[in-house]
Structure 1
Amino acid sequence: MSEKLLKIENLETMIEDKKILKGLNLEIGKGEVHVIMGPNGAGKSTLANTLMGHPKYTIVKGDIIFEGEIINDLRVDERAKKGIFLSFQYPEEIPGVTVENFLRTAKGAVSGKQMSIMAFKKLLKEKIKMLDMKEEYLSRYLNEGFSGGEKKKNEILQMAVLEPKLAILDETDSGLDVDAIRIVAEGVKKIIENTDTSVLVITHHNKMLDYLRPDFVHVLIDGRIVKTGDMNLAKEIESSGYEALKNQLGE
């Protein structure tokens, strides 16, 4: 049994005056891959943003425990330094800042120490090679003029460089074609195979899961995890939908 990295206990979260998470419980062990699926409005992105510490989301009950420490009150940057990473659904464009400079700054901010330019270039080349990306990509401005697939690949490159303990991928496959999903999923898989990073994937689609082969699949409905299983559960959802599961559970 793997050592626990993250434990969420009876988590209730509000945004403005609306309660979204309504007593959510989840445990993630080191090196495990977990998937959250659920209908629109179930609270999937709320969970991701709450874990990362987005100030718009207020915890009204329960705890987020990371490596044995309650992190409810930590700022986003403090959580990042502890090893939590969130891949954005809609990455921002930052004109004038190259991918390489952004990654070097981010690595220094998260690790608390600045690598030499040469040492960082060596690390970057290793990660670029591992993800089958071209080096000229690093001199482009961050996400400016990038296709949807390139933006998502850049998020996975960030994940590879920052080497988080927990990576949260919030609908990273959203808006991608089949080839781009495969490239992104294979990148995530390589990171998992080469580190003990735990991954929480939030998705509507099974295609990415076919590549990642998660340890656990959870179904989130109306702010709570109502069922946990393996890939068979994801296939059941794909064939029958959420309404059938709700009826089955008497939700």
Structure 2
Amino acid sequence: MIYQGVLKKMMTENAEEIQYYLDMKTDFLNMNQLINKEISLSFVTYECLNCGLEKTIYRQGFCKSCFFETPNAGDWIMKPELSKAHLDVEDRDLAYEKKVQLQPHIVYLANSSNVKVGVTRKQQVPTRWIDQGAHEAIEIVEVPNRYLAGITEVALKEHVADKTNWRKMLKNDIEDVNLVEWREKLKEFIPEEAKEYFIENNSETNINFPVRKYPAKPKSLNLIKTPKYTGKLVGVKGQYLIFDDETVFNVRSNEGLVVSIEV
């Protein structure tokens, strides 16, 4: 069977073993069912996730003009501390920014390759942790807007990492840590504006990924440089497809590429 569509990040279902789904426009693939099967990935063209035009992807699935114009690629997306909707200040589209920024946000600790701090909308828990390949995570604070989450993250990342080492995550080179102890240790560094939102009593969430074999030396597939690749799928973790020959493919970082998948 051959399926074709524009890549968007895989949808996930939190189950005993995470279920992954790839929306290929006219087809909906459960990637778990393809594990231990040989599949071929081929680059076809580009399709901007915003304007839908066949234009080279610049960042985050958008062509260059859309990246600098669409409200869902504003700087506050990657840097929540730059959010200004709570001040009634527009960046690109105030109505959109209010809708996204003025809702409950979580500052969390996740352990994927190491303990890191991050921010996500409450409705994105645990999806955000799954996308990062975290095998355990815990909420620290729940605040009413993105700005408060952002300044809390900025304060805490002075004392804990804010990045994931994707190679370590994919090699499963991880150690279990006590995130409750980490949460308590970081409590004193939460900014005054957010201290009242500290979550006193909660436990770790544990996540189990569908991986049958972890790569010892993961090598990233670039479909632009290598327009066709065939391999045996042996697992999915984070937003990565993992193949038997230790090739890995990050679906999220290739959003906006139109590909065909042959099973």
Q: State if a TM-score over 0.5 links the two structures.
A: no
Output the TM-score relative to the length of structure 2. Answer: 0.30
| Greater RCO (CA < 8 Å, at least 6 residues apart) | 2
Output the TM-score relative to the length of structure 1. Answer: 0.31
Which structure has the greater CA radius of gyration? 2
